[in-house]
Structure 1
Amino acid sequence: MIVLSAITEDPVRQAGIRHFFTTAGIAVRPFDADPGAVTIGYGTPPADAPVRIRIAHAPASDVVQGELYGESWRLPFSAALDPVSEGGEVLAWVSVNDERHPCIVQDGATITVAFDLFAETGEWLCGGRDRPRAGPAGDPAVLVVDGYEALLVSCIRRACHLQGIPFVATAHWPQNHTSAVCLTHDVDELVKTYQWITRPLRYCRQGDGAGLLRQFRSLLAKIGGKEPYWMFDAIRRMDDELQIRSTFYFLEESMAPRLLDPSTWNVLGRCHSLNTPAAQALIRDLAHDGHEIGVHGSYRSFADYDLLAREKGHIDTIIGRSVTGIRQHHLNLDVPRTWEMQAKAGFIYDTSLGYKDRPGFRGGTCFPFHPETASGPLPLLELPLAVMDITVPPRSAGWEICRTIADRVAATGGLLMLLWHPAVFNPIEFPGAGDLCARLIRHAQAKGAWAATAGEIAAWWRRRSSALITWTARDGALHITFPPDADDLAVDIWLPEGSTAAIPKSIQVFVREEQHFRIALGPLSMALPTTLEIEYICG
């Protein structure tokens, strides 16, 4: 019942359109003249299109910078703005230099979005706003893409209700889970090496006596036979307590650091061989225990396809099957070239898109997405990184930042991707870091998050995206058609205000609110596409 009349050959705008409908889980069909449908007009819709939502396409005005805001939310805004009448109900404003301008307006049965929303989201997704470091300005935890898309979803839902019909969307995550959380570990090294020099020197420069004492205690433990960076047993115990499984990305650096140049130690002085019996036994044991194994691409591999493919092939050989995931060392990305090489090498997903200096969302989204190239979307999925341990301040300040990000992801319904290096689970050298990780995962789970490995997240998202769920609503009957093998799939149904629905008793209902239902499709699926009928009465 959602019709899209969009005329654009711009790949950036096409990327924004594709991402929106895939992420929102909204079934859409090309333009037809069905008067009962909600038609979204973008570009130049046909004259006979019963447009209910108009989205500005390439406004001719100058770009303005300010804030886009409604009753209880604010988002950064930097776009051209079409003039729009205030004659109807203003749903959102843009504030520029203490002046406000209407941005989203409902006038009768038509809703107008006065900026090129698909161009803005597409620009983020295509790397036009990409920067590896957040820097001090702005709030890196703002989900710009997700915020803009949530606005459009609310407009579509409102337009459906103005038509007197329900709004239906595929749920983001399996069954009754409202978000997802994934714990990953970049295995940069198996033993502590140059850090025996650099960390004491750092604490001396900082005048940190407690830090120096921790290094001394760690050295005593090393002399006693306990390797300070081999913390895999501690991670596995934590995972068992949380009833989760982690994803481990293993590094094999081929370039040697220069002994007299300490600046190369951090990027090149890491693990140089996975051929030792201890390393290979660890990798196989983790895989056997249900943890996921992936590639931590070496420092230069983000720009070297042969090196990338060779590193993948080695880990494939160790575990006896093809690994599907990668994260580049130091989060190095050449957008979109690195993604193209990863896809060519046979990876299913990457999870390198994160800030190097602060927690936050480098791509403006916390949802998986297919990176865009000049020739269209890649089969590779990007799973955006949200929090990396070394960017989190210590003590209570770190928890507050992590909780804020986790709460934003939960409110958006997205993916909380975490990176905790194995070394930080050493309580002598990094007191509290492991506990913070466990606390953050429990917090996400308490809010309904599905805890899964990165590979499971990628596999789920690909299956969800390919499941064609369509719906129609007419004469008080809602028909939802879904494919075979709809295991774990669910749909959200929002009724117009004051309406009621008769949900058959045979249907499993996860959420039952006054105007909102989430129902399971899996128990109803059959060998052929299935249509479910739900009767509703408009208030």
Structure 2
Amino acid sequence: MFDDYEFALCLTHDIDRPYKAWPQALYYALADRQPSHLLSMLPGRNPYWQFETIMAVEDDFDVRSAFYFLNEPDLLRDKSPVSWFRSENWIQQLGRYDITDEAIVDVIHTLDRGGWEIGIHGSYHSYADQFRLAYEKAVLESLYDGSILGGRQHYLNLDRPQTWQYHAELGLRYDASLGSSTSYGFTNGYGVKRPFDNSFVVFPLTIMEVALPDPGTKEDEAIAECDRLLREAAENDAVMTILWHLRYFNEDEFPGYLRLYRYIIERAQELNAWIGPPGELYPHVAKPPDSTETRPKTEL
């Protein structure tokens, strides 16, 4: 099935904020001088709930992706009063969702039934807290009839190799946290990494959408950069992983990002890429090769 592909493109989505919070709306309204950010908060509107948009796009191309769900602790209920005075904790609280809410559980079931991968998006401090990460994994797995192969840490937080050791001990088979939110490219190599020289692998992040030139104002530049990276992937038999957050599929507030996502998939298909979620690719890169990287053209 995989023998004739030039490279692999893994599609991922971190589910940070499926609901837009008032502080976010006010910030963007003032920063962009666009009152539409406030209008989007009217009853019945939910501009960041873009699950159906993603599913429709990927259905169009007959591809699937991974959705990494976040279970951030409630600041007032789950943390000590000392934590209430730390600004970083309030940032994590804004827009927080309850992963056990009916709407979230329903969309997890819909995604799972439709062939999309369900993964874990470890909460902000869980990269250094194995007990918290184990709890989050157990809660997520209890919500649907499946098991989690991997995911990505919130804010790409990593304590290497300890975080990966926690992942492996919890039965996760891969992590996709190695990367940057400010730069893009194959800075971490063209293949998966093996921090323990076994079947646990790391999928380096090639592109986070926010690091690219803004496709709303620099569309040609953004397309050119993505095309360059896709051709580089094809030339080097690479495993390329991209991250598009849920809110960036809202064309009203983030124009150009939906079109750019579609372009990446379409162009990758033209370049004869395998396209899907990391969990689907994992069995084909799980066996440790002679080197520390797995190159899809020889492995798949």
Q: Judge same fold: TM > 0.5, yes or no.
A: yes
Equivalent position SS for 2:33: helix
What is residue 139 of structure 2 aligned with on the other side?
314
Residue type matched to 2:63 in 1? I
| 1:246 match | 65
Deviations 1:350-401, CA, capped at 9 Å, x for gaps: 00111121112342x12112113xxxx2431101110001111212222222
Of 170, 181, 202 in structure 1, the residue corresponding to residue 9 of structure 2 is 181
Q: Distance in 1 between matches of 2:126 and 2:268?
A: 33
Alignment partner, residue 230 of structure 1: 49
Q: One-letter code of the match for 2:29? A: P
Deviation at 1:261, TM superposition (A): 6.2
CA distance, structure 2, for counterparts of residue 242 and residue 347 of structure 1: 29
SS of residue in 1 equivalent to 2:231? helix
Unaligned runs of 5+ in 1: 1-172, 204-210, 467-488, 493-519, 521-539
Matched residue, 2:249: 425
What does 1:189-204 align with in structure 2 at a 5 Å threshold?
Answer: 189-193=17-21, 194-201=23-30, 203=31
Compute the displacement of 1:326 (Å): 1.3
Query: Bigger shift: 386-395 or 256-265?
Result: 256-265
Distance 1:491 1:436, change over 3 A: closer
Aligned position for 2:102: 277
Write out per-residue CA displacement over residues 257-299 of structure 1, whole angstroms, 9 at most, x where no aligned residue: 8787655444443434211111111111111111000000000
Distance 1:317 1:221, change over 3 A: same
Residue 262 to residue 428, structure 1, CA distance change in 2 (3 Å):
farther
Among candidates 183, 188, 200, match of residue 380 of structure 1: 200
1:222-263 residue CA offsets vs partner (Å, 9 max, x unmatched): 425120100111111100111101110000101528787655
Q: Paired residue for 1:452, among 276, 279, 289?
A: 276
| Amino acid in structure 2 at the alignment position of 1:198 | Y
**2:198 & 2:27 partners in 1: Cα distance?**
41
2:45 partner SS: coil
In the alignment, the residues of structure 1 paired with residue 191 and residue 298 of structure 2 have an alpha-carbon distance, to the nearest angstrom, of: 18
Which of the residues 173, 188, 209 maps onto 1:389? 209
Residue of structure 1 equivalent to 2:33: 212
Give the distance between the partners of 1:330 and 1:250, measured in 2 at CA: 13
Answer yes or no: is the 8 Å Cα contact 1:297–1:311 preserved in 2. yes
The DSSP-based 3-state class of the residue aligned with 2:286 is helix
Specify whether residues 392 and 491 from structure 1 end up closer, same or farther in structure 2 by C-alpha distance, changes over 3 A only.
Answer: closer
SS of the residue corresponding to residue 75 of structure 2 reads: coil
Check the 8 A contact 2:198/2:288 in 1, yes or no: no
> Using the alignment, how far apart are the partners of 1:339 and 1:433 within structure 2?
31
Is residue 412 from structure 1 mapped to residue 236 from structure 2 by the alignment?
A: yes
User: Do the aligned partners of residues 399 and 490 (structure 1) sit closer, same or farther apart at CA in structure 2, a change above 3 Å counting?
Assistant: closer
Separation in 1 of the partners of 2:225 and 2:96?
31
Structure with the higher fraction of residues in strand conformation: 1
Q: Report the Cα distance in structure 1 between the residues aligned to 2:152 and 2:273, rounded to whole angstroms.
A: 23
Distance in 1 (alpha carbons) for counterparts of 2:87 and 2:115 = 38
SS class of match (2:13): strand
Deviations 1:456-487 (A, max 9, x none): 11111125859xxxxxxxxxxxxxxxxxxxxx
How far off is 1:445 after superposition?
1.4
SS in 1 for 2:151: strand
Pairing 1:369–2:190 present: no
Contact 2:173 2:200 in 1 (8 A): yes
* Cα distance between partner residues in 2 of 1:323 and 1:440: 26
The count of aligned residue pairs is 284
**Preserved CA contact (<8 Å) 1:299 1:328:** yes
Take 1:432 and 1:399, find their aligned partners in 2: how far apart are those partners?
10
SS in 1 for 2:229: helix
Which of 241, 256, 261 aligns to 2:75? It is: 256
1:353 touches 1:362 (CA, 8 Å); kept in 2? Answer: no
Q: Distance in 1 between matches of 2:287 and 2:154?
A: 29
- Cα distance in structure 2, aligned partners of 1:175 and 1:378: 23
What root-mean-square deviation, in Å, do the aligned CA atoms of Structure 1 and Structure 2 show?
2.5
Letter in 1 for 2:100: N
Change (3 A) 1:317 1:223: same
Partner of 2:148: 323
Q: 2:164 aligns with which of 339, 343, 348?
A: 339
The answer to whether the Cα contact below 8 Å between 1:229 and 1:422 also exists between their aligned partners in 2 is yes
Kindly provide the CA deviation profile for residues 288-319 of structure 1, in whole angstroms up to 9, marking residues without a partner as x. 11100000000000000001111001111111
From 248, 261, 264, the equivalent of 1:440 is 264
Runs of 5+ unmatched residues, structure 2:
77-82, 291-295
SS of equivalent to 1:430: coil
Whether 1:300 aligns to 2:125 is: yes
Q: 1:349 to 1:491 in 2, by over 3 A?
A: closer
**What amino acid does structure 2 have at the position aligned with 1:298?**
S
| Residues 338 and 263 (structure 1), Cα distance of their counterparts in 2 relative to 1, 3 Å cut | closer
Structure 2: distance between partners of 1:461 and 1:261: 41
Decide which structure has greater helix share: 2
Question: Any idea what the Cα deviations from partners look like across 1:321-369, whole Å, max 9, x if unmatched?
Answer: 2211110000011111110000001101100111121112342x12112
The structure-2 alpha-carbon separation of the partners of 1:448 and 1:403, relative to structure 1 and needing over 3 Å to count, comes to same
Asked if structure 2 preserves the Cα contact closer than 8 Å seen for 1:253 and 1:270, the reply is no
- The answer to whether the 8 Å contact 1:357/1:391 transfers is yes
Distance change >3 Å, CA 191–CA 359, structure 1 → 2: same
Equivalent residues in 2 for 1:96-107, closer than 5 Å: none
CA pair 252-362 structure 1, distance change in 2 beyond 3 A? farther
What percentage of aligned pairs have identical amino acids?
A: 32
- Name the amino acid aligned to 2:262: A
Which of structures 1 and 2 has the larger relative contact order (alpha carbons within 8 angstroms, sep 6+)?
A: 2
Which residue is 2:80 aligned to?
none
SS in 2 for 1:319: coil
C-alpha distance in 1 between matches for 2:297 and 2:86 = 55
